[in-house]
Every structure is written in structure tokens, then in C-alpha cells.
């Protein structure tokens, strides 16, 4: 078959340049820490106050809000599409992977939105996506973690479907390659992934998410407990999560300081006390072990890596400029 070359005339390229430049500029629109300085200058203090009030009502506010942010950004980007409800249960929040999201996370965003709307300057000026990003930083601080600057300027998405969640979230049994692949799809490195996993420091899990590790790890070999899991810890988990346990029962992911955002998560991994196999693999796989050891021995290194990773996560798939909208109600499109 004859292969033909195709060339654009120089004149045609010159005509295309303005379009290409405009497109590139639009795609690289950046978020800004001072995005609301002229429209809602007190946005951070208003949100922080509302989140603190909610946190005083229940500690679950913290892990629930953190997890909500992750689940939002990993599906369609950080556009608060996780907040949208569907009359026929077909939204992101209705997918099986999201049914365990605690209601307190959603309520935190709704309460912060109401607080902003009570200020005439801020009413319907701040996106639900930005509120969730700010609230996530605030719960980290409220539980003892280090503060970090939050970039703002996200717009809210109008689309939320159950189908879009499929195969987009990491699962408790993932190995390192699977974890790296799903995080890399969002521009996040292995170091970012390990740092973000530190959010499990204040996380909790329902028993069915790890029951196989403590009761039926390998039926073929007759091994009931995962050998990468500390045996005494496994026996404690069996007491807290017996067979046929109430499915509503949840267990702290950090058995040492479950209400403090710190680097104990990594120290627990060193003691073979990672609740999920996807946690413990970070230590048992030599490709990631060095970073786990670093974060376990150097809390400042963990704090910086977590802040950097959260900033990168907060940029994933964002809508800016005229894309999307600023929702009047975080649970439904305008």
C-alpha cells in the first residue's frame, strides 16, 4: 500500500495558532489560594467554624469528610459530584463502593454551605467542591494534623452516575501494582499514594472489608489468618468482628491513636497491624517499604508529603472558569 505524507501549509498553521494557544491556556487554568478574596474574603474562617461545630457534635465528622473528599476526586475529579442525589438511586453515592460513606461527611459540607449562605457576600458564591476541599483540610487540623494551604476555584459538576464509580476506587485487597496504577491514573506518584494512605490514621472500616484476612485467608492451604498480619492483632480483630457480626459495626484502622491524625499508621504497619492487605502491602513490598519506614520515623516528612499529595489530589479533574456551576444546593444541580 502506498504511504502518503500529509503536510499543513504554513498559512494554515498560523491560522490555528490562536486556537491552540487559547485551548492550552483554558486547560491549564490554575486554582488559587486567594480565589474568593473579592467575593467571599472570609470563606476559610466561615467554613472552619462550621466544621469545628460539627466536629464537636461527633468525631466521625473527621474520617467521614476525609473519605468523602477522596471518593469524590477519584470519580470524575474534585467536582462534588459525590454530593448529588438521584431520585432513582443512580448517583455516585449509590454505588456499592460508596454506600459505606458516613452521612456525617455529607452533613459537614451542607452545614458549611449554610454558614456561607448566611453571609450576604458569600451566598451562592462558593462551590460545594471548594467547601469539601476546605473542610477536609480543617478536619485534619482538628484531629492534630498539620495545616496546609488549600487551592480554590473549583466549580461543581452537574453529572453523577453510579456507573462512573465502577473500578475507579482502590479496594482493600489491592496489591502495590494495582494501587500505583489507580493513583497514577490521577497523576499521583507512589510516594503520594503512601502519604495519602496515612489518612487511615483516623479511618474506620466495617468488618466485612477485612474479614477474609482473619477467618478464611487461604482455604486451599487451610491457613485462616493472613501471615502478614500480626497474630495477636488478628485475634483481637476476631473478638471485635466475630462471624455474623452486625454489618453496621466499624473498627478503627489505627489501633493505637485512632482519634489523632499522626504517623502511627506507618508504625502500625511496621508491627504488621495494617487492617487492609492494601495497607500492609506498603511494608511487605520492598518497592514501598523505604517510604513507610521514613514516614514512621519522621513525622515532619509525612506531614509535608501528605500536604503535597493533598494539593495534587485537589487538582484532579477540576472544573474551572465557565465549566460546571456553583450549586445553590450541594445535593442537586441548579
Q: Which residues are catalytic?
A: 71
170 belongs to an annotated ligand binding site: yes
The response to whether 107 counts as a known ligand-binding position is no
Q: How far is CA 117 from CA 38, 64, 121, 155, 220, in A?
A: 16, 23, 8, 17, 59
Neighbour tally for 57: CB within 10 Å = 12
321 annotated ligand-binding residue: no
79 is in an annotated binding site: yes
Q: H helices then E strands: how many in the chain?
A: 13, 2
Instruction: Determine whether the annotation assigns residue 81 to a binding site.
Output: yes
Is residue 177 marked as binding? no
Q: 105 a known binding residue?
A: no
Instruction: Tell me if 257 is assigned to a ligand binding site.
Output: yes
- In angstroms, the CA 237 to CA 213 distance is 10
Annotate 63-103 with DSSP letters as a single string: HHHHHHHHHHHTTTSSSSGGG---TTS-SGGGSGGGTTS-H
Q: Is 262 annotated as a binding residue?
A: yes
Supply 24's cell numbers: 492550552
b/e burial code for range 185-209 (CB count within 10 A of at least 16 → b): ebebebbbbbbbbbbbbbbbbbbeb
- The answer to the question of whether 156 is labelled as a binding residue is no
Annotated binding site: 72, 75, 77, 79, 81, 92, 170, 200, 254, 257, 262
Annotated binding site for heme b: 200
Amino acid at each position: 500500500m502506498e504511504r502518503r505524507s500529509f503536510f499543513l501549509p504554513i498559512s494554515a498553521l498560523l491560522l490555528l495558532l490562536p486556537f491552540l494557544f487559547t485551548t492550552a491556556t483554558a486547560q491549564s487554568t490554575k486554582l488559587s489560594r486567594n480565589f474568593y478574596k473579592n467575593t467571599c474574603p472570609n470563606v476559610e474562617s466561615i467554613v472552619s467554624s462550621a466544621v469545628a461545630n460539627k466536629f464537636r457534635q461527633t468525631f466521625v465528622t473527621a474520617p467521614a469528610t476525609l473519605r468523602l473528599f477522596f471518593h469524590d476526586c477519584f470519580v470524575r475529579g474534585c467536582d462534588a459530584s459525590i454530593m448529588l442525589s438521584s431520585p432513582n438511586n443512580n448517583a455516585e453515592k449509590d454505588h456499592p463502593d460508596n454506600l459505606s460513606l458516613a452521612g456525617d461527611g455529607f452533613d459537614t459540607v451542607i452545614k458549611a454551605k449554610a454558614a456561607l449562605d448566611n453571609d450576604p457576600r458569600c451566598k451562592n458564591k462558593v462551590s460545594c467542591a471548594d467547601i469539601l476541599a476546605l473542610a477536609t483540610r480543617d478536619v485534619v487540623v482538628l484531629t492534630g494534623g498539620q495545616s496546609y494551604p488549600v487551592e480554590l476555584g473549583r466549580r461543581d459538576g452537574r453529572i453523577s452516575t453510579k456507573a462512573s464509580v465502577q473500578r475507579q476506587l482502590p479496594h482493600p485487597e489491592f496489591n502495590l501494582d494495582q494501587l500505583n496504577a489507580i493513583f497514577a491514573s490521577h497523576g499521583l506518584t507512589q510516594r503520594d499514594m503512601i502519604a495519602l494512605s496515612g489518612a487511615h490514621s483516623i479511618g474506620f472500616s466495617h468488618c466485612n472489608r477485612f474479614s477474609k484476612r482473619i477467618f478464611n485467608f487461604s482455604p486451599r492451604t487451610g491457613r485462616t489468618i493472613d501471615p502478614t498480619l500480626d497474630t495477636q492483632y488478628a485475634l483481637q480483630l476476631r473478638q471485635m468482628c466475630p462471624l455474623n457480626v452486625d454489618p453496621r459495626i466499624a473498627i478503627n484502622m489505627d489501633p493505637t491513636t485512632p482519634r489523632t491524625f499522626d504517623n502511627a499508621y506507618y508504625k502500625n504497619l511496621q508491627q504488621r497491624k495494617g487492617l487492609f492487605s492494601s495497607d500492609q502491602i506498603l511494608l511487605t513490598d520492598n518497592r514501598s517499604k523505604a517510604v513507610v519506614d521514613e514516614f514512621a520515623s519522621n513525622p515532619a516528612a509525612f506531614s509535608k508529603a501528605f500536604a503535597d499529595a493533598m494539593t495534587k489530589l485537589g487538582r484532579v479533574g477540576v472544573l474551572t472558569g465557565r465549566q460546571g456551576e456553583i450549586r445553590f444546593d450541594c445535593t442537586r444541580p441548579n
